Amino acid sequence: MLRRARATGAAGQPGRPGGSRTGSQAEGNAMTTVAFLGTGTMGAPMARNLLAHGFAVRAWNRTRARAEGLAADGATVVDTPAEAARGADVLVTMLLDAEATTEAGGQAAAEMPPGAPWLQMATIGLGGLARVAELAADLTLVDAPVLGTRAPAEQGTLTVLAAGPEHVRDRARPVFDAVGGRTLWLGEDAARGDGTRVKLAANAWVLSLTNAVGESIALAEALGVDPRLFLDAIAGGAVDSPYAHLKGEAILSGELAPAFTVDGAHKDAGLIAEAAGELRLDLAAAARARFARASRAGHGGEDMAAAYYASFTEEP
């Protein structure tokens, strides 16, 4: 039976801090204050992991209610980006897009001490990074987008794709270690954005795979077979992927609480297209179109696995 109706439900994904505030690690970070801008699905657990590792965190989010929960963990929740930056040693931006990052980050950067690290950890594309680099003229920019979604953010196991000068790495490393399981240093020129370049290439793969799983499940249903047989068929073989089962189970259960939303994926697909220029990326273009259709059908705030529903929507 084709599952054209909009699925509802929340997927509980228990998380834990990525580290504990014990021993010399917490003591070594206790004097470091982080201005953390953006406490949404990814940012809030990242900020909690910083607190758990002994950092002082001054947290700001455009919708303050989404930051308030961090107060119970020890964060100072503030009303403006500039207020977050006052007295901070490190600036971290984990905002939705380039517009939000440049607007809030620019306000915060003006209050940071000269040379302070600005760790730009969101996915904002090459154009957005260039704008950030201009705003960060008096700071030390590190291009450091992360690979992973909500659960790795909660567990402190994100992969940090970093590019920045050698002299800032000792200051950035404890922050990255608190939120991630590994850091890949990809170059010294943050403005060139090798972290962002690798992130866009990785995202092209992830977005294509997400849509491929949804299409295979939709096709199996249309052909009158249990779509779980598709997942069983690929299990353990050369074409298997844990991610296929993760997103496939989300689709089949209808539990689509966002680890990363359809609208967020559509935004990232646009950044990929922008970066590609005249290079023809047929799969990336198709993925972008499917996310747009799923969003128009009312699934924009659900997990990006809900691109599955694009198989059942009509083109205008």
In a 13 Å sphere around the CA of 6, the CA atoms on its Cβ side amount to 13
Please give the pLDDT value at position 313.
Answer: 81
Question: Phi then psi for 115, rounded to 5 degrees?
Answer: 85, -5
Check pLDDT > 60 for residue 18.
Answer: no
CA-wise closest residue to 57 among 114, 42, 65, 72 = 72
- pLDDT (tens digit per residue) in 227-251: 999 999 999 999 999 999 999 999 9
Task: State the average pLDDT over residues 97-101.
Answer: 97
Q: With bands split at pLDDT 50, 70 and 90, how would you rate the model's confidence at 125?
A: very high
Burial of 238 (0-12, 13-18, 19+ CB in 10 A): exposed
- pLDDT (tens digit per residue) in 255-271: 999 999 999 999 999 99
Task: State the average pLDDT over residues 131-135.
Answer: 98
Between 106 and 28, the more confident residue is 106
- Which string of b and e fits 67-78 if b means at least 16 CB within 10 Å? beebeebebbbb
pTM of the model: 0.88
Q: With bands split at pLDDT 50, 70 and 90, how would you rate the model's confidence at 68?
A: very high
